[in-house]
A and B are shown apart, each in its own frame.
Chain A
Amino acid sequence: MRCGSLLTAPEGPVEVAPPRMPRWQRPFRGLARGARKSGILAPLQVIRIPTWLALVSSVVFFGVLLSLVPGLAHWIQRRWKSVGWWIAAWAVFLILSVFLFGGFLGYLFLGLALAAHVWVALHSSFLRGHDTLAMRIVVFLLALGLYYFVYTRTAGLLFGQVQPGYAIVSVPARQIEIGDYLLGRRTLPGDPNHPRGAVVYANLRQIGGWENPFFPSRYFGYVQIVGLGGEVVEIKEGVFWVNQSPLDQELYPVPQWLLNLELSAEVPADSYFVSAEYMGTGYNAQLAAQACILSSRRIEGRAVYRWWPLWRRGLIRTDE
């Protein structure tokens, strides 16, 4: 017996049955062994792995990859209990982030869910093996970036037909205020079937004058359709008139910037006259008409749900 060996009986039951190889693995292991013996795998061994890459072992790599499904790597290794609470926290954060999506709290909970997810993937593999704070931070951020990419792609797959956006029009009859976060259904550009009163998601590039390449969504927003193609839209004494008939002010309120204008415009066949609360000043009747007439190709979705604020959450009915 070696001097210094521990000879006291350990506390609790000791596992005495060794792990066994599943029979189906025998031929595969034999093949791998044969490959190693014959040197088929030797060319791989001469490739020098960079030091920085060697820090990320295959265990870590597959751990991170498998943990895209939170807890899968731990479940395979029968260590699920060690991350059970983390996965519960992740699920709660994710549900809250979806429920509150569109507001500050939604983004906060999404960030927390992401961080919990990355922690589950790394804490028992990479973070345990590397004590350097800088290295831990770098790997954590890299994994965060990877997982963020996966989240956005997954969200794209799951909610690809949902078009979120902010309202830039106020419609009291439909409980829509400027700045509300609305969810809509994507529509094909050029769809001529939007009804009057529909709140649509549109590219309002004609207002900005140019498209900001860094913030392409800056001139997008939900606006209301007032006039259809071929109709004549007028504003008289603060009321919309279409083909000489006045519209309900509750359903079709005139934006502040158009109130003082006497406007009359014929809507081209493939366009809509939309109402939106623009912030610009110095419009005359002609410029205002140009700003309000929108080609149907610039409409990308129709609002169906008021998502934010919470207390006004509900369906938007446009068939009234």
Chain B
Amino acid sequence: MNRFSSLEFEDAGGKRPRKSTPGEPVRDAMYFYREAMGCYLAGDFEQALRSYSRALERNSVFLEAWAGQIRMLIELGEYPEAVIWADKAMEAFPNHPELIAAKAAACLRDAKPEKAMGFSDFSISQENAGPWVWLARAEVLMERKSRIGQECLSKALLEAGEAVNLIRLEAGRIDVRYGHYSAALELLEKTVRVWPKSALAWYELGRCQAHLGFSEAKAALEEALRLRPNWRPAAAELDRLKRTGPLKRAWRRFFAR
């Protein structure tokens, strides 16, 4: 079983993935990893972090769980902790490009662009730079308003392999983050087609559509809230959308990129 073979999260709302075989599932590292991914796709980063930790309890040399923990710390806004944890992970995986890239992303979000560029340079110089390395590179370059950022996202998608859906979602989120809504729209629409039960994907799509002035944004955000009721960011975004006047929507419809 590879690590992305079970990412068709039909109930990606923070609940356990349904198993096709009867009986109690084996609670091994992969089980908790899948659970963490489910929580992540539901936008429940705190729970995802815990599940990654439990996966590591079962297998302490599980790189994806280490990297997942660092990404969740970044999602939770705990950037210095993410850097510390990446250093910790590198005790087991010295100079692993994915971990260095995670440090770059953490530094960038923490408004330390010079450090982020340094880590990104270093991660790219390593062998076997994977999709996460290119995602971090894209983010660092987009922060500098460089057009090469989009090319890095394309490179990440090319390198993604079987993790293409996850990388596509992340690429879309990065585009939304840096205001490239048109580019993000395509990526996120594909993502929700693949993962229709991912609250996070719907939420990001809704945000993107709202910024582009699309009326479909409301449905997307409502879908996110239906999948994960009382999710604050989605509710806040929907509330903001409802308060947006028609003129502003029209302006966005014609002039937003």
* Pair A18/B53 contact, Cβ less than 8 Å: yes
Q: Which of A1-34 contact B (CB under 8 A)?
A: 1-10, 14-21, 26, 29, 33-34
- Find the A residue at minimum CB distance from B98: A2
Say whether A16 contacts B57, CB under 8 Å: yes
Measured in the bound complex, the distance between the Cα atoms of B45 and A20 in whole Å is: 13
Contact: A2 with B111, CB < 8 Å?
no
Whether a CB of chain A sits under 8 angstroms from the CB of B126 is: yes
The answer to whether A317 has its CB under 8 Å from any CB of chain B is no
In the complex, chain A residues 28-86 whose Cβ is within 8 Å of any chain B Cβ: 29, 33-34, 36-37
Interface contact A33-B92, CB-CB below 8 Å: no
- Which residues of B are found within 8 Å of A2, using beta-carbon distances? 93, 96-97, 126-128
B63 at the A/B interface (Cβ < 8 Å)? yes
Q: Are B78 and A16 in contact (CB under 8 A)?
A: no
Stretch at the interface among B15-23, B79-87, B243-251: B79-87
Report the bound CA distance from A34 to B69 in whole Å: 25
Query: Is B161's beta carbon under 8 Å from chain A?
Result: no
Min CB–CB distance B100 → chain A (angstroms): 11
Closest-by-CB residue of A relative to B91 is: A10
Main secondary structure of the interface of B (DSSP, over half): helix
Taking CB atoms, residues of chain B closer than 8 Å to A9 are 60-61
Q: Is the CB of B94 within 8 A of A14?
A: no
Residue B227, interface by CB 8 Å: no
Total CB contacts across the A-B interface at under 8 A? 66
A15's contact among B49, B88, B97, by CB below 8 Å, is which?
Answer: B88
Contact of B81 among A8, A16, A18 (CB under 8 A): A18
CB-CB under 8 A for A18 and B93, given A26-B77, A33-B110, A33-B111: no
Q: Are A18 and B92 in contact (CB under 8 A)?
A: no
Would you call B73 an interface residue if the criterion is a C-beta within 8 Å of the partner chain's C-beta atoms?
A: yes
A contacts with B, residue count (CB < 8 A)? 24
Q: Which residues from A are CB-within-8-Å of B60?
A: 9-10, 14, 16
Q: Which of B93-108 contact A (CB under 8 A)?
A: 93-94, 96-97
Knowing A16-B56, A16-B57, say if A1 contacts B63 (CB, 8 Å): yes
- Which residues of chain A come closer than 8 Å to B78, judged between CB atoms? 20-21
Residue of B nearest to A7 (CB): B61
A interface, over-half SS: loop
User: What separation, in Å, do the CA atoms of A93 and B111 have in the docked complex?
Assistant: 48
Does B112 reach chain A (CB closer than 8 Å)?
yes
Q: Are A6 and B94 closer than 8 Å at their CB atoms? A: yes
Q: Is the CB of A21 within 8 A of B81?
A: yes
Which residues of chain A (107-158) have a CB below 8 Å from chain B?
Answer: none
A6 contacts B112, C-beta separation under 8 Å: no
Residue of A2, A5, A9, A18 with most chain B CB atoms under a 10 A cut-off: A18
User: What's the nearest-Cβ distance from chain A to residue B231, in Å?
Assistant: 20
Q: How far is the CA of A291 from the CA of B112 in the complex (A)?
A: 75
Asked if residues A36 and B112 are in contact (CB atoms below 8 Å), the reply is: yes
Kindly list chain B residues whose C-beta atoms are within 8 Å of the C-beta of A18: 49, 53, 69-70, 73, 81-82, 84-85, 88
Query: B81: shortest Cβ distance to chain A, in Å?
Result: 5
Q: Which residues of B contact A4 (CB under 8 A)?
A: 94
Residues A21 and B80 in contact, CB atoms below 8 Å apart: yes
Contact partner, B96, options A5, A17, A34, A36, Cβ 8 Å? A5
Q: Give the complex CA separation of A10 and B127 in angstroms.
A: 24
Contacts of A14 in B (CB 8 A): 56, 60, 92
Rounded to whole angstroms, the CA-CA distance of A6 and B49 in the bound complex is: 23
Interchain CB contact under 8 A, B56 and A19 = no
B114-152 CB contact bits vs A (8 Å, 1 = yes)? 000000000000111000000000000000000000000
- Shortest distance from the beta carbon of A24 to any chain B beta carbon, whole Å: 13
Question: Considering the chains assembled together, what is the distance between the CA atoms of A26 and B76 in angstroms?
Answer: 11
B29 CB to closest chain A CB (Å) equals 11
B81 contact set on A, CB distance < 8 A: 18-21
Closest approach, in angstroms, between the C-beta of A3 and any C-beta of chain B?
7
In the complex the two chains form, what is the Cα distance from A6 to B63 in whole Å? Answer: 11
Q: Beyond A2-B127, A4-B94, A19-B81: 9 further Cβ-contacts under 8 Å? A: A1-B63, A2-B93, A2-B97, A6-B93, A10-B92, A14-B60, A16-B53, A21-B80, A33-B111
Interface positions of B (Cβ within 8 A of A): 49, 53, 56-57, 60-61, 63, 69-70, 73, 76-82, 84-85, 88, 92-94, 96-97, 110-112, 126-128
Contact surface of A with B, Cβ cutoff 8 Å: 1-10, 14-21, 26, 29, 33-34, 36-37
| Top-10 shortest CB links A-B | A16-B56, A36-B111, A14-B60, A21-B78, A18-B85, A33-B111, A37-B111, A19-B81, A16-B53, A5-B93
Instruction: List 16 contacting pairs A-B, 8 Å CB cutoff, sorted by A.
Output: A2-B93, A2-B127, A4-B94, A5-B96, A6-B92, A6-B94, A7-B61, A9-B61, A10-B60, A14-B60, A17-B53, A18-B69, A18-B81, A18-B82, A26-B77, A34-B111
